[in-house]
Amino acid sequence: MFSKITMITKFKSIKNIGSFFHFDWDAVNPSLQIDSNGNSILDRNNVQKVIKTQFNKLNVLFGENGTGKTTLVRLFKVLNEDSPNFIQKNWDHDGEACSFEIETDSTPISFNDAAGIQGNLFKDKILIFDRDYIDSFVHSFPTGRAANHNKNTGSLILYLGNFFQYRTQLNNLSQLKRNLQEKSDKIKSKRDQDFSTLNPTSSYGEVKNAFNTLTPAELLDLPECTKLQQETVESTEKEIKEVNQKITQADEILKTTQPKKIGVITPVTTSDIDGAFSFSVSTAAATAMSRVAGREDFIREGIQITHDHSLDECPFCQQSIKEEGKYIDSISQYESIFDATFTSEQDRVRRVLQTYKSSILSLLGFHVPEGNGEAVTKINRLLNQDDHFPDVALSETDKRTLELELGNIEAKQADITKALSSNARGINLIVDGLNGKIDLYNKQVELVEQKLLKAKSDISSGDLPRQKATLEAKLLQEVLKLFVCRFHNELSRIFSQETVIQKNEQTVRKLGELFELLRKKVEDLFKAFVSTYFSEIEKNLSIFCPGLELKIVGTNPRYDLRVGVSGDVTCGLEVHYKNRDRLRDLSEGEKQAIALSYFLAFLNKETNKNEKIVVFDDPINSFDSGRRKQAAELIHKEAINFGQLFVFTCDSLFRSYCLKVSNKRLGNQRNFYYILKSASSAIHYRPKEYQTIYSSFKQDFRNIGSVAGTDDMIVVYGQKLRYCLEEIKDRHLGYSEDKFEDILNAVESGRITSLISKLDEIRELYSYCNTGGLAHFPKDGQTSWNEIKGQIGKYMRLGL
C-alpha cells in the first residue's frame, strides 16, 4: 500500500534568502485573471477565469545564471536535510531576518530565524542532482601514485557514490594507526634507551624479574640492600678468583705444605715451685752446711759409714763423735742434713727449680714454628687469600718478668736452703696469655690448612670447572640484584612505561582489527553496489557517451591498504575509451554524463518512489545538444514514477526538450516557470498557451494599466522588462548556443539594421535595468511604479 503522495505546491514566500529578497508567489502569479482595464476575464460560463499556477507533478523552471535557481535548489536541500544549514541570507541584507513559507497539498512548511523549520514533510525524501552531487559522489584518484602521476604507470580509479568518502575514512584510520604505531615505538624506544643508559648486564626481561623479586624489607632500605649486595658480589668475585687461581696454580698448590700449629705451653706447678722456693734448714744446720760447703759428699759418705758400721769415731780422723752414747752436736747436725730424706728433699727442690728454670727459659725462647710465615704467604698467593697469623710474641714486660724470675731461680739454686719467694703465679699468667694467643694462632693455622686441603681436594677431584661455572652463575644473579637495588628508582620509572606501552600497543592492534572490519564492510558494500547499479550505470552511460566504458577494477573489488604506496586496486571503476584508460582525459561533459548515469541508476533502484521528490539542477549544462535530448528523455523516464519532479535549467534547448518530453509523458501534469531576477528573484508561472515568455510578458506590459503599482509589482515588472531587453540580443544577434554561421546569417538578413536607429533608447533602458534605479530597488527607493511604467512604455514603442 502506497503512502499518500505529498507534493510541494508553492514557494509561497521567500524573504531575504539567497537572491530572493522579497518573493510573494500569489502577487507574482495571481490566479484571478483581469484584462487591461482591470476587469475580470470571464470564462464561457461567465465566471471569473482562474488559473492554477501551483507546482504540478513535473515542473520545469527556466532561469539564466544568477537568477536564483541555486537558492531554490538549496531550499530543497533544507527540506531534505531538515536543516537550515543551506540557507544563505541575501548578501545585501544579511543583518535582516529571513524566512520562507512552502505550501503543500498537505500541511504548510515554514521557516524563520526564530522558530526554525516547522512542519517539514520531506526529510530524506528529496533526491537532488546538482553540482554538489557530482562533486560528492564522483571522484577520480590515481592509485599508487601522487600528484606527479604518469599515465603510463597505472590506472586511474573512478569512485562513485560514497566510496571516495569510505576510502578517505579508511585511509584516515590507516594513517591514525601508523601515527600511533610510530608514537608507541618512540615511547618504547625511549624506554629501551633509558634502560640501555644504565648499562645493564642482563636482558630487559631478566632485570624486570629481578626487580619484581625484591622483598618488602629490601625495598624499605634500598641503600642498605645495595651495600649488602655489593659485599655479596665482591665475595663471589673473590671466590671465582680463588677458583681461577686453583685452576691455574694446581701443580704448585698440590706441592705446598701446610703451616704448623704451636704446641700449648703447660703452666708451671705453682705449689711445687712455691714449696721449692720455701725450702730451708735451721740456723745451726745452715751453719753446719756452710762449714762443710764444698765437702758435702765427703761428709755424707762419712755419716753413711758411721751409720753402717755403728762407729763411735770419725771414720776419717778417728776422733770421738759420741758423748754419753749420743752423737755430738755437730755430727747430729750433719746427720740431719745428710740423711736420706733431707737429701731426697733437697734433690727434689733442685729438680723443681731446674724444671722451673727450663720452663722460664723455654718461655723466653718462645717463637712460632719456622716456615709458617713463608707458608702462609705462598698459600695466600696461590689461593688468592689474605690470611695472616696473629702475633704471639711475648711483651717486653713479660720478658722482664721472666728474666727476673730466672734470676730468682738461680738465686735459689745458689743457696737452696735459703727460703725465697717465687713468682710462679705471675709466670702462669704469662703462660695463660701466651696460650690464648697460641690458640688464636692455631685456629688461623687450621683455617689456612683447611683452605689448602680443600684446594688440594678440589684439584684432585677435578671439580673446579663446575665450581667456577656455579659461582659465575651465582655472581650473575647477584650482580643483577645489585643492579636492580642500585638503579631501583630509574628502573621503577622505566618499568612504569610498560603499562603505557602495552595499552598503546593494544590500541594500535585493535585499530588494525577495526580497520579490517571496516575494510570488509566497504568491500561488501562495493560488491552490493556493483551488483545493484553497475549494469544500469553502464546502460545509461552508453546512451550519453557511446564508446565510453566503465570497468570494475580487478576481478575481486577490494580496498587496498597500500593505496598511496604501491597498491593499485580499490573499490572503484576504470573508464576506458577504445580500450584505453580515459579517466585522466575526461571532459566536464563526460564527467557529468557519468554522474548523471549513476544518479539515474540510483533513481531506477530507489524504493517508495511515489513518496519522494526528484530535483535536477542543470543536469546537462556541459552536454551537447544531442545528449541534452537524450538526457531529457532519460530523466523523465526514470523520474516519472516519483511523487514530483523539478528540473531547473538555464538552457533553452534543454527546456524545450523537457517540455516536449513531459508533454508526451505527462500531458497536463506538467508546468513551466521562469525564474527571473532584478532586485529580487522570482518564480513566474507561464501558462501553456503562451508560446514564448517574451510574448507573455509583452501581453502583461499591454495590461499594465490594470495592475496595482505595489513595490512587489515594481520588482516583477522590472524583471520582465530586463528579460525582454535580453530578447533583443537573442532575436537580432543570435542565441549564444547558435552556430556562428547562423549568427552571420542573422546579420546578413538585415535584422541588425533595425536596431541602429534605436540604440540610444535601448542603451537607456538597459542602463535603467542594470545600473539605474531598478537595479537598486527597493534599497534606495528611487524607482516608482510610474517610472517603470514609463520605461515599459518606451520599450513597447521600440516595436522590436
Contacts with other proteins by CB under 8 A lie at 162, 165-166, 169-170, 172-173, 175-176, 179-180, 183-184, 187, 492-493, 496-497, 499-500, 503-504, 506-507, 510-511, 513-514, 517-518, 521-522, 525
Distance of CA 268 to the CA centre of its chain: 89
Nearer to other proteins, 305 or 500 (CB): 500
Nearer to other proteins, 180 or 476 (CB): 180
Smallest gap, in angstroms, from Cβ of residue 758 to other proteins? 57
How far apart are the C-alpha atoms of 151 and 368, rounded to whole Å?
104
Nearer to other proteins, 518 or 552 (CB): 518
Nearer to other proteins, 320 or 496 (CB): 496
Give me the residue label for grid cell 545600473. 771
Nearer to other proteins, 54 or 504 (CB): 504
Q: Count other Cβ atoms within 10 Å, centred on residue 476.
A: 14
Smallest gap, in angstroms, from Cβ of residue 507 to other proteins? 5
Distance between start and end Cα atoms, the chain: 56
- Closest by CA to 769, choosing from 676, 698, 699, is 676
C-beta separation of 752 from 785 below 8 A = no
Smallest gap, in angstroms, from Cβ of residue 162 to other proteins? 4
Smallest gap, in angstroms, from Cβ of residue 512 to other proteins? 10
324 Rama class: left (phi>0) / alpha (psi -120 to 50) / beta: left
H-type helices in 5-153, by residue range? 25-28, 69-81, 131-137
Q: Taking each helix axis from N to C terminus, what angle separates 711-733 and 740-748, rounded to the nearest 10 degrees? A: 90
Nearer to other proteins, 68 or 161 (CB): 161
Cell numbers for 254, please give them. Answer: 698440590
Nearer to other proteins, 290 or 496 (CB): 496
Structure letter (DSSP) for residue 554: S
Nearer to other proteins, 503 or 763 (CB): 503
What contacts 207, CB < 8 A, 6 or more positions away? 195, 200, 480, 483, 484, 491
Smallest gap, in angstroms, from Cβ of residue 611 to other proteins? 21
C-beta separation of 108 from 119 below 8 A = yes
Distances, alpha carbon 8 to alpha carbons 611, 790, 800, in Å: 12, 37, 38
How far apart are the C-alpha atoms of 316 and 339, rounded to whole Å?
19
Residue 590 burial class via C-beta count within 10 angstroms: exposed 0-12, middle 13-18, buried 19 and up: buried
Nearer to other proteins, 179 or 767 (CB): 179
Smallest gap, in angstroms, from Cβ of residue 538 to other proteins? 23
Nearer to other proteins, 476 or 511 (CB): 511
Nearer to other proteins, 506 or 625 (CB): 506
Smallest gap, in angstroms, from Cβ of residue 79 to other proteins? 19
Smallest gap, in angstroms, from Cβ of residue 585 to other proteins? 29
Strand arrangement, sheet containing 644-649: 126-129, 613-617, 644-649, 58-62, 670-677, 681-686
How far apart are the C-alpha atoms of 53 and 29, rounded to whole Å?
6
Smallest gap, in angstroms, from Cβ of residue 380 to other proteins? 50
Smallest gap, in angstroms, from Cβ of residue 666 to other proteins? 32
Smallest gap, in angstroms, from Cβ of residue 563 to other proteins? 15
How far apart are the C-alpha atoms of 392 and 395, rounded to whole Å?
9
447-474 burial, b if ≥16 CB within 10 A, otherwise e? Answer: ebbebbeebbebbeeeebeebbeebeee
Nearer to other proteins, 221 or 374 (CB): 221
Helices vs. strands in the chain: H and E counts, helices first = 29, 18
Nearer to other proteins, 21 or 129 (CB): 129
Smallest gap, in angstroms, from Cβ of residue 138 to other proteins? 15
Whether the link from the prior residue into 465 is cis, omega within 30° of 0, is: no
Smallest gap, in angstroms, from Cβ of residue 175 to other proteins? 4
Smallest gap, in angstroms, from Cβ of residue 491 to other proteins? 12
Give, for 322, the enclosing helix (H) or strand (E).
strand 322-323
Smallest gap, in angstroms, from Cβ of residue 159 to other proteins? 13
Distances, alpha carbon 264 to alpha carbons 283, 331, 444, in Å: 43, 49, 15
Nearer to other proteins, 153 or 165 (CB): 165
C-beta separation of 595 from 537 below 8 A = no
Nearer to other proteins, 379 or 508 (CB): 508
Torsion of CA 26, 30, 36, 39, to 10 degrees: -110
Q: How many residues does the chain have?
A: 800
Nearer to other proteins, 180 or 640 (CB): 180
Smallest gap, in angstroms, from Cβ of residue 573 to other proteins? 18
How far apart are the C-alpha atoms of 505 and 180, rounded to whole Å?
9
How far apart are the C-alpha atoms of 376 and 665, rounded to whole Å?
126
Long-range CB contacts for residues 605-610, cutoff 8 Å, separation at least 24: 605/532, 605/533, 605/536, 606/127, 606/642, 608/2, 608/3, 609/641, 609/642, 609/643, 610/2, 610/3, 610/5, 610/641, 610/642, 610/643
Cell numbers for 106, please give them. Answer: 498537505
Nearer to other proteins, 169 or 460 (CB): 169
Nearer to other proteins, 136 or 270 (CB): 136
Smallest gap, in angstroms, from Cβ of residue 513 to other proteins? 5
How far apart are the C-alpha atoms of 127 and 539, rounded to whole Å?
21
The number of CA neighbours under 13 Å toward the Cβ of 40 is 11
Instruction: Compute the Cα dihedral for 246, 248, 249, 254 and give only its sign.
Output: positive
Smallest gap, in angstroms, from Cβ of residue 605 to other proteins? 15
